[in-house]
Amino acid sequence: MKQIISREEIEKKETRNKIIIGIILVGIMVISSAGYAFFGTERTNIKKIKYNNIEFSLQDDNLWHTKIQDYEFSAFYNPKETENITGFITLKLGNYYNKPLFFSYDSDRQAVEEISRNIERFAQRVQYVCLDECEEDFPVKNCTDNIIIIKDLNVSLIKQEDNCVYILADRDNILRASDAFIYKILGVQ
């Protein structure tokens, strides 16, 4: 036989159950918030180096980022990794400021993208050209213009002839040489 329970006892029991459920839900919310704060955010292990008093950090995009005079630059290699690239250039970033930046039409495309990503915002425009003459349908320019020629050769060298810059490297080091060029015109190296 079932015991008769008064209305007051039923209400007390329901109130107690509601309070217990409320405390459990609040506890779950507090624990989950604390867990998210400590463990939920992805912690990236940002690698940093300092080179000539300039800080470089390897970001999630696998590029080395730095800030120079309020401008952010990014490169595939950090300056320490490009030190072995010999370079003889006197040009600086200012030489490209508000002037057309030309690349030889047969330059390595990946290296062109690397340099353009960092310089094109300062240049008037970026364009492919032919050096002296060619069979392609590009304007013909010479070394009185700012031309960058990037070639796949068995040397690692950056050299300048008038306003032409030659970035020469084998296939495995073409990006490294392009980054060395970026660091040289920025005055990092």
Domain that holds residue 4: 1-42
pLDDT tier at 133, thresholds 50, 70, 90:
confident
Does 43 have pLDDT greater than 70? no
Output the pLDDT for position 2: 67
Number of domains within the chain: 2
Q: Do 101 and 170 belong together in one domain?
A: yes
* Residue 141 domain flag: yes
Output the pLDDT for position 44: 53
Q: How far apart are CA 148 and CA 114, in angstroms?
A: 12
Which residues on neighbouring strands pair with residue 164, listed in sequence order? 147, 161
CA-nearest of 71, 31, 24, 100 to 182 is 71
* Residue 132 domain flag: yes
**What strands, in cross-sheet order, belong to the sheet with 47-51?**
47-51, 54-58, 64-68, 71-75
